Amino acid sequence: MKWTNRNIHRDFAYFYVGLIIAFSFSGIILNHRQDWYPMDYTYESKEVSLDIPEDRNLLNDKTYIENATKSWKVEGKFDGARLREHQLRIYFKDNIIADIDAKTGKGVLEYKKRTPIIGHTMYLHKTTNSFWIWYSDIFGAAMLIIAITGILIPAGKNGFKKRGWKLALAGLLFPLIFLFFLA
CA–CA dist 21, 124 (Å, integer): 12
Instruction: Specify the pLDDT at position 90.
Output: 93
C-alpha distances (whole Å) from 182 to each of 28, 47, 174, 176, 178 are 20, 40, 11, 10, 5
Domain residue limits, the chain: 5-35+117-182, 40-114
Nearest CA-CA partner of 136 in 44, 26, 6, 31: 26
Instruction: Specify the pLDDT at position 47.
Output: 94
Instruction: Specify the pLDDT at position 173.
Output: 87
For the entire predicted model, the pTM comes to 0.55
Radius of gyration of the chain (CA): 24
Instruction: Specify the pLDDT at position 89.
Output: 93
pLDDT less than 50: residues of the chain: none
Check: CB of residue 125 under 8 Å from CB of residue 26.
Answer: yes
Check: CB of residue 90 under 8 Å from CB of residue 83.
Answer: no
C-alpha distances (whole Å) from 131 to each of 16, 52, 124, 138, 142 are 17, 43, 11, 11, 17
CA–CA dist 109, 45 (Å, integer): 5
Instruction: Specify the pLDDT at position 41.
Output: 67
Instruction: Specify the pLDDT at position 39.
Output: 67
Instruction: Specify the pLDDT at position 183.
Output: 64
Instruction: Specify the pLDDT at position 100.
Output: 93
